[in-house]
Chain A
């Protein structure tokens, strides 16, 4: 292969450095400020973990975090199960209408989905609460789980299934003993992505949660609207770390399987 970087305009390196600085500096600054001892959230006076203690001692935050975990766990499991079945059903064939339907939740702007879901729940008389949040989340978890599972299935050697068949494995046995173990990294990766996307969702939740089902992002939104405080810094930093940890884990799992 030709040496590509000799073929493009000079000066790309500095732009890329600026780009990554722009992408990561705000996150980094937030993480640093969350350990700031000062009451004034942006003036550094010393290291402290006091605000984390304050957050963990706040019953409302803990309850919201509990709601978030319940929703994310239920929605990501259901979404991944549906995505897995769909990916197996679509294995080895391509159907553009079906692919379009599966990726629909990714293409429609969040605020539109939020409005539409709210109207559906009101029309069918489903009271707004954790149940409606889980339903709405399950829907957008499907494409996030579907894509890594489908990618994994497409990369699988079709001869393996034939071999299992030749060795008198029943279809179910071949699936359980051959396909599923090979597919596992894709499923796990999809599940983690779905979990994190549900845990982080704000706009759709804000519309369909109702009063009793405050999730952590909805609670944080309320805090931010009141003002910049060290508690917001600390709880934000915690959310950041959880998200980044999950994505990194998902990436490692997906790569380990394919290497």
Chain B
């Protein structure tokens, strides 16, 4: 039995090798490509290094080869951060009361509610986003509904706006907020809240002073888990933002499509990865676990 137990550890190897070869190695290659020169006809010049791709985040080269500030990409970064931040705030506003509601139901009911929260996550992202096109477009359900009620006149033009992107992102990532918050509330010792109320705290005060601080790891995990994928979103801005409202994800994709600037695309993706790793590191230092670790128990 001993030998078997010792040898058993080797079973991890195939998965580890596959993960190293197809996630860690590609990320390293991506980092390397981001400091290469772009090829004349797309692709890259292997072995010729430059930081041009990172310089291009903020500057462009003028005709006389001097660097001038180029606010085009800066606008896209600012919009991506803004939309991700607003979406996170919106998810927290809806998600926290919902998680609190779920955590205070009978255990059997809770399991069903958790299941209902997870179902949309497993459905196709495109299909979920497409449903919002049906709702938001001119002459779509919301537009037509408001007109029929006499609450609006003229086309509302809800689709292809930052607002539409935010709704789509909220719809996609709301479960990522509810589940970790719920997980931390579920473990909460309600006797502490009871004690607070015995000592004269109202429901709201008890929530603010006892429940909220104790659920903070879940709340912050939820914020990280919503903010990070929102920042790198591609489908929602592509379908709900139209060609006008770009986010970082669209910018990255276009570098591998029409723009054919791989180093720039790799640099953008690497910057995104750096933000993710920083967020994870911050969370691990502050709460001593990876965000979502409690979710998967």
Contact = CB atoms under 8 A, between A and B. Distances in A.
Partners in one complex: yes
Nearest to B239: A224
Nearest to B203: A9
A82 B20 CA distance: 13
Contacts of B119: 244, 247-248
Contacts of B141: 29, 42
Given A104-B23, A142-B18, A27 B228 contact: no
A8 B104 contact: yes
Nearest to B95: A19
Nearest to B189: A2
A200 B18 contact: no
B252 interface: yes
Q: How large is the interface on A (under 10, 10 to 19, 20 to 34, 35 or more residues)?
A: 35 or more
Contacts of B139: 42
B15 A112 contact: no
Interface residues of B, number: 96
Contacts of A103: 290, 296
Interface of A: 1-2, 4-5, 7-13, 15-16, 18-20, 22-24, 26-27, 29-30, 33, 41-43, 82-83, 85-86, 88-91, 98, 100-113, 115-120, 122-123, 135-136, 138-139, 142, 146-147, 151, 165, 171, 193, 196-197, 200, 202-203, 206-207, 217, 220-221, 224-225, 228, 232-233, 236, 239-240, 243-244, 246-248, 251
26 contacts: A4-B193, A8-B100, A8-B104, A10-B203, A12-B100, A16-B98, A18-B94, A22-B94, A26-B135, A41-B134, A42-B141, A98-B16, A102-B19, A109-B228, A110-B234, A111-B269, A112-B269, A116-B269, A119-B262, A135-B22, A139-B19, A142-B19, A151-B297, A171-B4, A202-B125, A206-B253
Given A8-B193, A30-B134, A109-B273, 20 more contacts: A7-B203, A8-B104, A8-B207, A9-B100, A10-B203, A11-B97, A24-B120, A29-B135, A83-B15, A85-B14, A107-B228, A107-B276, A108-B23, A111-B272, A120-B22, A142-B19, A200-B123, A225-B239, A228-B137, A240-B123
Interface of B: 1, 4, 8-16, 18-20, 22-27, 29-30, 33, 43, 94-95, 97-98, 100-105, 115-120, 122-128, 130-135, 137, 139-141, 144, 171, 174-175, 178, 190-191, 193-194, 197, 203-204, 206-207, 211, 228-229, 231-232, 234-235, 239, 249, 252-253, 256, 262, 265-266, 269-270, 272-273, 276, 280, 290, 292, 296-297
3 nearest A-B pairs in the assembled complex, by CB-CB distance: A109-B232, A89-B11, A116-B26
